[in-house]
Chain A
Amino acid sequence: MSTAMEAAERLRGALDDARRGLIERDALVELVALGAVASEHLLVIGPPGTAKSEAVRRVSRGIEASYFEYLLGRFTEPSEIFGPIDLRRLREGVVETETRGMLPEAEIAFLDEVFLGSTAILNALLALLNERVFRRGHTSIACPLRICVGASNSLPEGEGLAAFADRFLLRAFVEPVGDPQLEELLTGGWGESVAGRRASVRDLDVLSTQAREIDLNAVRPRLAEAVRRLRQAGVMLSDRRVVKTQKLVAAAAVLGGRMVASEADLWPIVYAVPTAAAQATAREALRELLAPSHSALLGAAAEEASQGPLARAARLVRAGRELLGSRGGAPSDAWRLRLEGVAREVDAGFAPDRRPAELEAMRAEIARALGDGS
């Protein structure tokens, strides 16, 4: 197994742990990984208390990354984010920042209410996000930041903030958990997440390096076609976003175990569309183009973006395997109901002659498990 494949396997373990117990946040967890491998940042829009920071924290823990998290406010001082001025050096006439434990030294960062920061904070953040360099006074250091996840209740209005928001290539929109999943939310939220490290920042770097070598030649025409279809549907992406989407496609390919990007890896383009309404339009406009989407590691994100059958089938196979693997000695009614739920989604979502082989095999296993009274 190649180094990149081993790194991807370890990252899979970290993402599996991160997802466990979080409800309807699988795609968000996966987008953090996608952004980190692509070296692009993620903006998450959603109301407070929707596990935005928890998803990022868990990914960070899973790869033992140095992590910085802060809730910005209108009166937040730059020193609260970047570190205090070193007073000893100041007496020597040198303005240096003590960055230990602060954002400039973080490998993964989460900034809540990111648009509430002052001009001073946002200006310093711009350079940090763009160039991975922190500059302040005499301080100029390279930052190890792999991904910054910004969060807000809503997208900013006003050109200045919109320009800052544009630095976050990936966009995710989250809502509170729906009624049908409330029981799962209560169960998942009661236990504590205790998963340890499964992968490392080094694994991210191996995958990032691999992503830069991905062959995009075969998929570029499809990507251009996707942009044309978006434009026809009234969804405009800036030239910068169009070009940078290639980094997301390359990252999706390497996380999908491919050295040559294919049409299976185009789905991240949906997450490069800036607004929720435009993303919904994009899904519809690109439905046919994204039908072949699937990803070994980022199945939920691929499915959410493409709503395609392959990604849906992969998720159901994973869900079925996980449930069957958790059967234990005396399966409970709750377990049976969950297994029936997977079977129901398979039968309702796929005509018998359209089920991929792996899904059909999984369905047969489920039917046996439910049929033998387990």
Chain B
Amino acid sequence: MDPRDDQAWVAVAWRERAMPLAPSAAIGLGPVADALGERLDRMEEDALRQLEGAAGQDALLVLGPTDRLPWVDGVIYLGRDPRAPSLLVPTAVEPAVHPVLFESAIARQFAGPGLVAVVDSPPRLVRVEAPRALDRRRLAALRGEVRR
């Protein structure tokens, strides 16, 4: 696995969280990234400005307050586990290894700027550049940047 890749496969067991995290981000992969982009495009400008966005390999990531995050079928909600605050992790499940060890292992592979979003199903680590505030122009640019 080349740590320079923006995406990498991670084999780790996942279990249900006792208490889901509050979502602070939503990520769409593949066709869901397109659907998420379309949904964002339908938002009012004011609502869009409350969000930040970033693009990764075949992925579109949006961050913001829980009640402002859009929904499309297939989007995955991510949040911050206080025990591993540098990662965006699934809200409903957690890795079977201690979050501190999990974060440390990922940080070793993905040193550098930007964010790492962890997805359990399909199992993926997605690195994105630092998210920026969204507006129509920025959203259009991000949708073009979603690399396939």
Q: Using a CB–CB distance below 8 Å, which chain A residues touch chain B?
A: 180, 287-288, 307, 309, 340-341, 343-344, 347-352, 354, 367, 370-371
Contact = CB atoms under 8 A, between A and B. Distances in A.
Contact of B73 (A287, A350, A371): A371
Interface residues of B, number: 25
B37 interface: no
A341 B67 contact: yes
Given A287-B19, A348-B20, A348-B23, A354 B92 contact: yes
Nearest to B23: A348
Contact of B16 (A307, A348, A354): A354
A123 B119 CA distance: 61
Nearest to B91: A348
Contacts of A340: 70-71
Given A349-B91, A351-B92, A287 B18 contact: yes
B77 A351 contact: no
20 contacts: A180-B66, A340-B71, A344-B66, A344-B71, A347-B75, A347-B76, A347-B92, A348-B23, A348-B66, A348-B91, A348-B92, A349-B92, A350-B92, A351-B14, A351-B16, A351-B90, A351-B92, A351-B121, A354-B16, A354-B92
Contacts of B90: 351
Of the candidates A288, A351, A352, the one having the most CB atoms from chain B within 10 angstroms of its own CB is A351
6 nearest A-B residue pairs (beta carbon): A348-B77, A340-B71, A348-B23, A349-B20, A348-B91, A344-B71
Given A349-B91, A351-B92, A354-B92, A344 B69 contact: yes
A288 B17 CA distance: 11
B12 to A, nearest CB: 14
Nearest to A346: B71
Nearest to B78: A348
A355 to B, nearest CB: 10
Contacts of B71: 340-341, 343-344, 347, 370
A180 B67 contact: yes
B93 interface: yes
Given A307-B19, A351-B16, 14 more contacts: A287-B18, A288-B18, A343-B71, A344-B66, A344-B69, A344-B71, A347-B71, A348-B23, A348-B77, A348-B91, A349-B91, A351-B90, A351-B121, A370-B71
Contacts of A288: 18
Contacts of A367: 73
Q: What secondary structure prevails in chain B residues at the interface with A? A: loop
A234 B62 CA distance: 42
A108 to B, nearest CB: 35
Interface string B70-114: 110101110100000000001111000000000000000000000
Contact of A344 (B16, B21, B23, B120): B23
Max chain A C-beta neighbours (<10 A), residue from B16, B19, B22, B71: B71
A55 B93 CA distance: 36
Interface string B7-29: 00000001010111111000000
B44 to A, nearest CB: 9
A343 B23 CA distance: 13
A311 to B, nearest CB: 13
B19 to A, nearest CB: 6
B113 to A, nearest CB: 27
Contact of A347 (B14, B21, B77): B77
Contacts of B121: 351-352
A350 B67 CA distance: 17
Contacts of B69: 344
A340 B35 CA distance: 14
B13 to A, nearest CB: 13
A205 B70 CA distance: 47
A150 B20 CA distance: 34
Interface string B52-67: 0000000000000111
Which of A307, A309, A341, A349 gathers the greatest number of chain B CB atoms within 10 Å? A349
A347, A352, A370: residue with the most chain B Cβ atoms closer than 10 Å: A347
A343 B77 CA distance: 11
Nearest to B79: A348
A288 B92 CA distance: 16
Contacts of B67: 180, 341
Given A180-B67, A287-B19, A354-B16, A344 B77 contact: yes
A341 B26 CA distance: 13
Best-surrounded residue of B19, B69, B76, B91 (most CB of chain A within 10 A): B19
A270 to B, nearest CB: 15
Nearest to B77: A348
Nearest to B15: A351
Contacts of B21: 348
